[in-house]
Amino acid sequence: MGIRRPRSPRPTSSSSSPTTSATATSAPTDRQWHLGFREQYHPLKRGFDEFFGHLGGGTSYLDPNDPDGHSWPRRQPVTTEPNAIRPAPVVGDRGDGPRAILDGYEVVEVDEYLTDVFADRAVSFIERHAVSSVDDMVGRVTATLREHGLEENTLVVFISDNGCINYMPAVICTNSPLSGGKRYHLDGGIRVPYLVKWPAGLPRGEVYSQPASVLDLYATMAAAAGSDAGTEDSVNLLPYLRGEVEGAPHEYLFWRSLPNAAVRSGKWKLWRVDLTDQDPASVLSRGGRLLPEEDYPAVSVHGQITVLHDLEADVGERVNVADQHPEVVERLGAALAAWEAELAEPMWISKRSTLAELHGQAIQLYF
């Protein structure tokens, strides 16, 4: 998995649109797109047949002109997100061939808005709002599949793009026992739920412990639809999940948000991240760890820190063992450099940044 600082895909690149097979494929995408506003980036230009939702991320679904609309923590009667009233995008008139549906829920991206529909379900803001809302909408999709006799032979994947945020003044969620959160390359930022259900095609109740990537969904879903399409970065997970193939799908997994980057191999993960002379605590006291948008240097004048974590012995990544395992640092550093050498130069450089702490040192994250 490679995460870079370009803000949109190139028009000639491949996003997660479906691979066609011998039979017709219908591919709706719902809710949140977040891959560009221009016409050439629109879902209908990227392989999807239908689209309903927002083109951007973090889009408010509350009407700013509605006197009952508000930001958390103020509470007044508000309806749930309007996307939820659309029928689950499961059935249609596109024929009997396989179809791929991308259903990205906006409610978890707009994390500062509260709807009182879910106020009594749990004790925390995130649980009662985002989690409860998504739980209802996923339930509607499952119920629709069952109603139309499609549940048994439908591959359903539930996944998140990142861990919960921890850069706001108030603590509204936690990734414990993992460290870090959204925008980190610690596991609290990049290790997310990855739930796969296919009654007719996969064993039930199994836990697969080897690292996998969201990019693997391309080859996996193509295989489920009868295609052998794949890429160097996308591995068909079906034989691994069925126990037909042993070992890990990937020798290495990579992440990058320049100039920070990380690589994982087996139990080891190496992270290279910018140091800063700014104090995260002082910034937090002014309303959060977010920094003003500006052109940050490609190389930090304060240098970088390289940390190595043993994820089997230290799931919380609280102990830097780089000095004890220089050979692992060298091997992972070389693999990361070789991977970066294959990448195109970023076309859009993000100006957004956040401060954090890592093993007692102030670091700067980019996103």
Residue 108: predicted pLDDT: 60
Looking at the domain 28-241, which fold is it? Answer: Alkaline Phosphatase, subunit A (3.40.720)
The single-letter DSSP state of residue 268 is E
Tokens in use for 33?
Answer: 């797109």
Smallest CA-to-CA distance from 17 within 52, 53, 54, 42 is with 42
∠ Cα 73 76 80 (to 5°): 90
pTM equals 0.81
Amino acid identity of 108? Answer: V
Enumerate the β-bridge partners of residue 157: 196
Q: What residues are paired with 310 via a beta bridge?
A: 268
Q: 136 — alpha (psi -120 to 50), left (phi > 0) or beta?
A: alpha
349 is written with which tokens? Answer: 């450089």
What are the distances in angstroms from CA 253 to CA 235, 262, 268? Answer: 12, 8, 11
Q: 300: burial class by Cβ within 10 Å (0-12, 13-18, 19+)?
A: middle
The answer to whether 133 and 114 have CB atoms below 8 angstroms apart is: no
- pLDDT at residue number 75: 36
Alpha-carbon distance of 63 to 86, in angstroms, equals 18
Placement of tokens 């070992």 in the chain: 247
Q: What is the chain's pLDDT, residue by residue, as a tens digit (367 residues)?
A: 232 222 233 333 334 444 433 223 345 454 567 777 788 888 888 888 887 777 776 665 555 555 554 443 333 333 344 444 454 555 555 556 788 888 877 666 554 455 555 556 655 555 556 677 778 888 888 998 999 899 999 999 999 888 888 777 777 778 899 999 888 999 999 999 999 999 999 999 999 999 999 999 999 999 999 998 888 889 999 999 999 999 999 999 999 998 999 999 999 999 999 999 988 777 665 545 678 788 888 888 999 999 999 999 999 999 999 999 999 999 999 999 999 999 998 887 778 888 888 999 999 998 8
How far apart CA 248 and CA 206 sit, in angstroms, is 16
The single-letter code of the amino acid at 357 is E
What is the structure's pLDDT at 73?
37
Q: What amino acid is encoded at 264 in this protein? A: R
Domain boundaries, the chain: 28-241, 253-366
Q: Count helices and strands (H / E) in the chain.
A: 7, 12
Query: Closest Cα to residue 20, out of 112, 100, 104, 82?
Result: 100
Q: Give residue 329's pLDDT.
A: 98
Please say whether the beta carbons of 32 and 109 come within 8 A: yes
Burial (CB < 10 A; 0-12, 13-18, 19+), residue 274, is buried
The answer to whether 136 touches 162, Cβ cutoff 8 Å, is no
Domain 253-366 CATH assignment equals 3.30.1120.10: yes
Phi/psi of residue 243, nearest 5 degrees: 80, 15
Please report, as a single letter, which amino acid is at residue 28.
P
**Host H or E run for residue 223:** helix 216-224
